[in-house]
A and B are shown apart, each in its own frame.
Chain A
């Protein structure tokens, strides 16, 4: 009891000389407000943030094995400026061979997707001539749309899909993350066999 009384008097004396001992809730308000206004002023919706997160994971996964669950992407403040705060827990750095392989796979995938786009145009042109290609052209126009929208994303993720088994686990883990990501993955999965199909068609045409 006596302690409490002394502490109280001590605080009061400090308070009298203008020093603050208690929590200053206005600082909390100012900080929370700054953050929320930054989000309000930019158009970074949670969906866009999620998408950014997914794409970042795809890029970074080429070089390091990271803890996708714990990756944290937030808007914050650095002095006067808005800042994106990214915290990436790294499980292990990949060795050179792995990185090279990932980059190679990515380039191949890019090539494949470019070919697929060319294919789409051709397929549409020859639609009347070939009855069989009707389904294919419908599908390929789907791919085309997707790839126009999500070109980068697709190529990067395709790399992962087709590379080492550890990478494949990543896409299986996906259900824990937002539905948008899984959608993208599905489209990529679908698009791979289609691309192969078109290549075959090309060969037979020739």
Chain B
């Protein structure tokens, strides 16, 4: 078996790389794929928290590299889904503890046993990014419809295009606020796609459920009622190769905006009277 190695990156921090990784990974595993997530954010690991696996980690990627354990021993199985594994980052070391070659070697070994290897990239464009990208042949660029995030995504895309090993990259717009996009108070998905001229993989709406799901250590894709969860499941389907249409959040938002405005008009009138 030769799996696909996909790096999830963004340039800017805080746009939702790790959340995206946890959710896409879980969704792919739910769809029956064998998935391993590799956290390369040495010193700032968080993927374990989002998956609720923080208490199960014995060995980390640095232990594998420094041969204190076998690769297989360091893989932590998910609580719910046996298809899903995590290779955690070391919390006590910095980015220099692992080299590009070592990461590439780990990815090469993992893709023999898994359908998908999802590499969680640290923020920034320094060595941590270079390491994370080293073993991957595909990339997901996570951005939000904010200027700073889009600018950093553009920089990352430039760097990815310069890498021969990266055969394709796709854009994921996270924390989308359809209400604000509909009222033109925020860039729309079309604006972002046009500015970055990249292929769109999906749009994840801003959802307070993400915070509560992180609190519980349970990715939101497991919540069948959540809109963000549905969007993440759609993204996973697209990665597998199925043609799933984008959810048109804006149309829904426009309608609710209109209804809200209509009612607020009468409410305000009532107050003035």
Residue B48 CB within 8 A of the other chain: no
The minimal Cβ–Cβ distance linking B136 to chain A, given in whole angstroms, is 23
The minimal Cβ–Cβ distance linking A121 to chain B, given in whole angstroms, is 41
Residue A45 CB within 8 A of the other chain: no
Q: How many residues of chain B get a CB closer than 8 Å to chain A's CBs? A: 24
**Tally of contacts, chain A with chain B, CB under 8 A:** 53
**CB atoms of B186 and A26 under 8 A apart:** yes
The residue in chain A whose Cβ has the minimal distance to the Cβ of B262 is A16
Residues of B within 8 A of A15 (CB): 261
Q: Give B contacts to A, CB under 8 Å.
A: 147, 150-151, 154-155, 158, 181, 183-188, 191, 195, 254, 258, 261-262, 264-265, 268-269, 272
The minimal Cβ–Cβ distance linking A31 to chain B, given in whole angstroms, is 10
Given contacts A15-B261, A16-B258, A33-B195, contact A27 B154 (CB under 8 A): no
**CB atoms of A24 and B195 under 8 A apart:** no
Q: Give A contacts to B, CB under 8 Å.
A: 5, 8-9, 12-13, 15-16, 18, 20, 24-27, 29-30, 32-34, 36-37, 40-41
**CB atoms of A16 and B261 under 8 A apart:** yes
The minimal Cβ–Cβ distance linking B254 to chain A, given in whole angstroms, is 8
Q: Interface on chain B toward A: helix, strand, loop, or mixed SS?
A: helix
The residue in chain A whose Cβ has the minimal distance to the Cβ of B182 is A18
The minimal Cβ–Cβ distance linking B261 to chain A, given in whole angstroms, is 5
Residues of B within 8 A of A41 (CB): 154, 158
The minimal Cβ–Cβ distance linking B260 to chain A, given in whole angstroms, is 10
Q: Interface on chain A toward B: helix, strand, loop, or mixed SS?
A: helix
Q: Choose from B154, B181, B183, B262 the contact partner of A40 (Cβ within 8 Å).
A: B154
User: Roughly how many angstroms separate A20 CA and B265 CA in the complex, as a whole number?
Assistant: 16
Residues of B within 8 A of A12 (CB): 261, 264-265
The minimal Cβ–Cβ distance linking A152 to chain B, given in whole angstroms, is 31
The minimal Cβ–Cβ distance linking B160 to chain A, given in whole angstroms, is 14
